[in-house]
Homo-oligomer: A and B are copies of this chain.
């Protein structure tokens, strides 16, 4: 499989560039018979789109998705579903200086070296966070498929911005509050602090990172495969395709590695006639397989690399030191836009595994 594709039975190929004509997605392997219209996808896309608030970039994009194939009379057909968003409102001139002066923390330098200058560098081109909109196109379909066939539900939220950390874990009840504020943190007070921190960074010409936590419930037992097909393997592969992601952990994760087996092991018990565990330090995954507890994971985003402060860089033609102030419109913090992206990739991976396990048939109904 080439680098723009993921998934074996629910396969997704992403194409397009930040400032090219369009961005798009092709899904192959989606079962036939799923009711689907553009609205299903648009709804989820709207949750990540730029220009929504003070805390994210001012670039305004309609981001209207069009389904090009694979849907007939309101249902998926089993054929590839191609989707597209036409780009608009690009300010390509902002990026012209970047050809020679790679931005610290961005893909500019290795991309230029890899493609010997042939890559479309405008707005980061293929490496832009804008491509995560294609993840949402695929994810909206995967999510609907999982929800309708197996009742699986994923929700992700901002659990940390810079040093401001939400306490406790979000309960299903709090889900509805995630999108009630700009930073996507269901705890109002914390959300307010996060917003303040982002605006302070912005004012300072700087940016902040943060953490998204994602919880998926109603998972059947036994999804995933031992060794390289482990759920953790496939989820992390997908999540690391989000630009700016630098860490992925499951359950108790890095913290768990500081504890002892007796503390970290989740002991089994029966609850409402079901086998469950008393804690969920495994994040719902044991031996690479789901154990029917919620899948809990955390994704660390580095602070956005495009900042207004002056930074040292080099001129790639003269190989001389120089400096750079990144202009253009950039998110001071990309984290608030990430929850639907994380939801999407989790859904794409789980849909793939559910089909591989025979839990979703090739034709619904």
Chain A positions near chain B (C-beta within 8 angstroms): 1-6, 8-9, 11, 13-17, 20-24, 26, 28-29, 32-33, 68-70, 72, 75-82, 84, 102, 104-107, 109-111, 113-116, 118-120, 124-127, 131, 160, 162-163, 201, 204-211, 221-222, 224-230, 232-234, 236-238, 240-241, 243, 245-254, 256-270, 273, 275, 277-278, 281-283, 286-292, 300-307, 309, 311-314, 316, 319-321, 356-358, 361-363, 365
Residue of B nearest to A24 (CB): B82
**Chain B residues near A314 (CB-CB < 8 A):** 268-270, 275
**Chain B residues near A362 (CB-CB < 8 A):** 114, 357-358
Alpha-carbon gap, A163 to B153, bound state (A): 35
> Do B3 and A26 have beta carbons less than 8 Å apart?
no
Task: Give the number of copies in the complex.
Answer: 4
Alpha-carbon gap, A79 to B121, bound state (A): 11
A–B pairs, 10, beta carbons within 8 Å = A15-B26, A15-B79, A16-B82, A20-B68, A77-B126, A79-B120, A160-B258, A206-B262, A247-B256, A257-B301
The smallest beta-carbon distance between A124 and chain B, in angstroms, is: 8
**Chain B residues near A319 (CB-CB < 8 A):** 270, 273, 275
> Do B9 and A28 have beta carbons less than 8 Å apart?
no
> Do A287 and B243 have beta carbons less than 8 Å apart?
yes
Given contacts A115-B77, A236-B236, A262-B307, contact A68 B302 (CB under 8 A): no
Alpha-carbon gap, A27 to B249, bound state (A): 29
> Do A114 and B221 have beta carbons less than 8 Å apart?
yes
Alpha-carbon gap, A277 to B22, bound state (A): 33
Given contacts A15-B69, A236-B236, A312-B269, contact A249 B289 (CB under 8 A): no
**Chain B residues near A120 (CB-CB < 8 A):** 72, 77, 79
> Do A75 and B118 have beta carbons less than 8 Å apart?
yes
Given contacts A68-B84, A125-B77, contact A312 B258 (CB under 8 A): no
> Do B363 and A3 have beta carbons less than 8 Å apart?
no
Alpha-carbon gap, A24 to B2, bound state (A): 18
> Do A15 and B258 have beta carbons less than 8 Å apart?
no
> Do B20 and A209 have beta carbons less than 8 Å apart?
no
Q: Would you list the 10 A-B pairs with minimal beta carbon distance, nearest first? A: A107-B287, A3-B229, A3-B225, A114-B222, A207-B261, A247-B249, A209-B257, A105-B265, A110-B289, A32-B118
**Chain B residues near A247 (CB-CB < 8 A):** 247-250, 253-254, 256-257
> Do A109 and B275 have beta carbons less than 8 Å apart?
yes
> Do B16 and A8 have beta carbons less than 8 Å apart?
no
**Chain B residues near A267 (CB-CB < 8 A):** 104, 311-313
**Chain B residues near A289 (CB-CB < 8 A):** 107, 110-111, 114
> Do A241 and B20 have beta carbons less than 8 Å apart?
no
**Chain B residues near A290 (CB-CB < 8 A):** 110
Other-chain contact of A266, B3, B104, B363 (Cβ < 8 Å) = B104
